[in-house]
């Protein structure tokens, strides 16, 4: 079948521009070119900040911002199939998962529109202290300033939406740098925002050298906030370098799940098999470490493995595919080397482990130790480990035993156990009887420890992107 090559331009100050140099986007599955985008550098990034700062000098009222966000949501819904096909082509994401991502971006925009409409401060009870008698005071939420947004490859539409929709709701203009591997969905979204009526300069998209564009976002004082989603390594360095800015970090995880013997073992096995391998495990909350109470371990394994074997591995453009390719050969080689290292250290391969046709089969490892890379680092691939445990305390300690803290899950039918786990698990979110891969877009989502320092979801991001200003009036 002939490949559609999508060509998109950069968005700078309301103009679609070329730079004279082109960046090719390739399918992670076939290696074919699926898109071309002008390559930007420091100059374009500076122009983008100029345009964003100029836009903010002429604020757009909240009702108009909300209308643009609602209209963008409608346009995404209308073009869901086309957008899903772009996500699938550039990220290698199976089409059915790409459709879900497009659907979720609709929710993200609608939630941001709601936030734009209810952005307000509060009245301060001034006469509650003698010093305040005779004064009236209120707070307002003022936009923080130009937002620099940097997004990863794995949700090239919805994680861009999680940055640009709340920023607009908050009244902030944005300079967006999407991942070089997946800029097409971000530019498609920019096109829809423009079609929805967004005035020039409020959204600027630059694709190209991460270092050159990143340097401008770090150094230009007009960029008051950087919202970064990606690897911990890059994120924490950015924060160190941008000491005088607010730097919001949404980073990785080595997602654990605890399965108590009193849980619905069949239902748990089904949920975990789906959520350890969808999009080849390239989600920051893909199930990676499964701890099962010893009394239910054999039963769980015998139900889990056939479900893993039943997953269809193949072409992401095929409607039946569950597991597609990894984003690139380096990622595949890294994970294969971690599997080999774990085997050499005593791990047993219960499923997968091989890599036919440039893919990697869903892989399940047993007999792992907490020190192995597959246990303590983020795999970000189609791999999970199975470990039996005796006591709940032991399981919670194992779950907490990495530097990460994004989301974790527990499956149990006992309320006390669920409540104890909710308190003891050191993560930004804990799911009970649901895979920790679960996310609804309006909920507060983010990590503790090495996994980040903020919560995303429009109600929470809008709060981060606005500053509280106090006005005191002497009566």
Residues binding ligand NAP: what is the number (CB under 6 A)? 27
Q: d(Cα 217, Cα 225) in Å, to the nearest integer?
A: 9
Residue 284 binding ligand NAP, by CB under 6 A: yes
Q: Which of 231, 369, 400, 442 touches ligand NAP by CB under 6 A?
A: 231
Residue 153 binding ligand NAP, by CB under 6 A: yes
Taking the complex as a whole, how short is the minimal distance between the CB of residue 182 and ligand NAP, in angstroms? 8
**Pick from 470, 467, 468, 465: nearest CA to 169:** 465
Taking the complex as a whole, how short is the minimal distance between the CB of residue 331 and ligand NAP, in angstroms? 8
Residue environment code for 174-211, b if the CB has 16+ CB neighbours within 10 A, otherwise e: bbbbbbbbbbbbbbbbbbbbbebebeebbbbbbbbbee
Q: Which is nearer to ligand NAP, 37 or 51 (CB)?
A: 37
Judged by DSSP in three states, 318 sits in: coil
Q: Which is nearer to ligand NAP, 31 or 346 (CB)?
A: 31
Q: d(Cα 259, Cα 410) in Å, to the nearest integer?
A: 6
Residue 286 binding ligand NAP, by CB under 6 A: no
Q: d(Cα 110, Cα 393) in Å, to the nearest integer?
A: 41
Q: Which is nearer to ligand NAP, 181 or 387 (CB)?
A: 181
Catalytic-residue membership of 250 = yes
Residue 279 binding ligand NAP, by CB under 6 A: no
Longest dimension (CA), the chain: 78
Interface region with ligand NAP, contact rule CB under 6 A, candidates 78-86, 98-106, 163-171, 225-233: 225-233
Residue 180 binding ligand NAP, by CB under 6 A: yes
Of 284, 378, 384, 456, the catalytic one is: 284
Q: Which of 17, 100, 137, 234 touches ligand NAP by CB under 6 A?
A: 234
Q: Which is nearer to ligand NAP, 315 or 441 (CB)?
A: 441
Q: Which is nearer to ligand NAP, 335 or 406 (CB)?
A: 406
Per residue, the 3-state secondary structure of 229-250, as one string, reads ECCHHHHHHHHHHCCCCEEEEE
Interface region with ligand NAP, contact rule CB under 6 A, candidates 34-42, 63-71, 148-156, 306-314: 148-156
Residue 410 binding ligand NAP, by CB under 6 A: no
Judged by DSSP in three states, 207 sits in: coil
Q: d(Cα 241, Cα 216) in Å, to the nearest integer?
A: 12
Of 44, 250, 378, 456, the catalytic one is: 250
What are 231's two structure tokens? 């690897």
Q: Which of 378, 384, 431, 450 touches ligand NAP by CB under 6 A?
A: 378
Residue 171 binding ligand NAP, by CB under 6 A: no
Catalytic-residue membership of 233 = no
Taking the complex as a whole, how short is the minimal distance between the CB of residue 404 and ligand NAP, in angstroms? 9
Residue 369 has φ and ψ, to the nearest 5°, of: -115, 160
Q: Which is nearer to ligand NAP, 119 or 216 (CB)?
A: 216
Q: x-or-dash pattern for ligand NAP, window 184-223, by CB under 6 A?
A: --------------------------xx--x---------
Q: d(Cα 219, Cα 242) in Å, to the nearest integer?
A: 7
Q: Which of 27, 72, 108, 154 touches ligand NAP by CB under 6 A?
A: 154
Residue 250 binding ligand NAP, by CB under 6 A: yes
Residue 442 binding ligand NAP, by CB under 6 A: no
> In the 8-state DSSP scheme, what is residue 123?
E
229 within 8 A of 33, measured Cβ to Cβ: no
22 within 8 A of 59, measured Cβ to Cβ: no
What are 236's two structure tokens? 């924490």
Q: d(Cα 239, Cα 245) in Å, to the nearest integer?
A: 8
Interface region with ligand NAP, contact rule CB under 6 A, candidates 23-31, 178-186, 369-377, 459-467: 178-186
Per residue, the 3-state secondary structure of 24-92, as one string, reads EEECCCCCCEEEEEECECHHHHHHHHHHHHHHHCCCCCHHHHHHHHHHHHHHHHHCHHHHHHHHHHHHC
β-pair partners for 140: 469
**Pick from 349, 252, 345, 338: nearest CA to 308:** 349
Q: Which of 230, 316, 325, 457 touches ligand NAP by CB under 6 A?
A: 230
Q: Which is nearer to ligand NAP, 330 or 371 (CB)?
A: 330
Which stretches of the chain bind ligand NAP, using CB under 6 A?
150-155, 159, 177, 179-181, 210-211, 214, 229-231, 234, 238, 250-252, 284, 378, 380, 406, 452
Q: What amino acid positions are annotated as catalytic residues? A: 250, 284
């Amino acid at each position: 079948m002939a490949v559609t090559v999508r060509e998109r331009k950069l968005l700078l100050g309301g103009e679609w521009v070329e730079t004279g140099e082109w960046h090719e986007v390739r399918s992670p599955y076939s290696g074919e070119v699926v898109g071309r985008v002008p390559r930007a550098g420091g100059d374009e990034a500076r122009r983008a900040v100029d345009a964003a700062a100029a836009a903010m000098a002429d604020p757009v009222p909240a009702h108009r911002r909300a209308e643009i966000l609602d209209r963008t949501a409608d346009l995404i819904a209308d073009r869901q199939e086309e957008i899903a096909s772009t996500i699938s082509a550039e990220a290698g994401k199976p089409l059915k998962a790409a459709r879900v991502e497009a659907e979720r971006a609709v929710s993200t925009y609608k939630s941001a529109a709601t936030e734009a409409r209810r952005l307000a401060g509060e009245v301060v009870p001034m006469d509650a202290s003698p010093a305040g008698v005779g004064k009236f005071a209120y707070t307002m939420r003022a936009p923080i300033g130009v937002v620099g947004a940097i997004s990863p490859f794995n949700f090239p539409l919805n994680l861009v939406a999680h940055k640009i929709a709340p920023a607009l709701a908050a009244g902030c203009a944005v300079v967006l740098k999407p991942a070089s591997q997946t800029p097409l969905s971000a530019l498609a979204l920019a096109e829809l925002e423009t079609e929805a009526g967004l005035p020039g300069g409020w959204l600027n998209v630059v694709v190209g050298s991460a270092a050159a564009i990143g340097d401008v976002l770090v150094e230009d004082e007009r960029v008051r906030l950087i919202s970064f989603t990606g690897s911990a390594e890059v994120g924490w360095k950015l924060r160190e370098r941008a000491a005088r800015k607010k730097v919001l970090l949404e980073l990785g995880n080595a997602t654990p799940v605890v399965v108590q013997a009193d849980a619905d073992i069949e239902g748990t096995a089904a949920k975990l098999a789906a959520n350890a391998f969808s999009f080849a495990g390239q989600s920051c909350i893909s199930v990676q470490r499964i701890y099962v109470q010893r009394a239910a371990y054999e039963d769980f394994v015998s139900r889990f493995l056939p479900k893993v074997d039943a997953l269809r591995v193949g072409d992401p453009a095929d409607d039946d595919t569950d597991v597609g390719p990894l984003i690139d050969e380096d990622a595949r080689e890294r994970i294969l080397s971690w599997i080999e290292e774990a085997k050499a250290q005593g791990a047993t391969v219960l499923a997968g482990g091989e890599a036919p046709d440039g893919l990697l089969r869903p892989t399940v490892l047993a007999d792992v130790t907490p020190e192995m890379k597959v246990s303590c680092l983020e795999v970000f691939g189609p791999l999970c480990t199975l470990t039996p445990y005796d006591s709940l305390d032991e399981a919670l300690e194992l779950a907490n035993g990495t530097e990460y803290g994004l989301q974790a899950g527990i499956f149990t039918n006992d309320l006390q156990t669920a409540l104890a786990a909710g308190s003891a698990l050191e993560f930004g979110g804990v799911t009970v009887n649901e895979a920790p891969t679960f996310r609804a877009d309006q909920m507060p989502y983010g990590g503790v420890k090495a996994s980040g320092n903020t919560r995303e979801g429009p109600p929470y991001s809008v709060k981060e992107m606005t500053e509280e200003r106090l006005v005191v009036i002497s009566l």
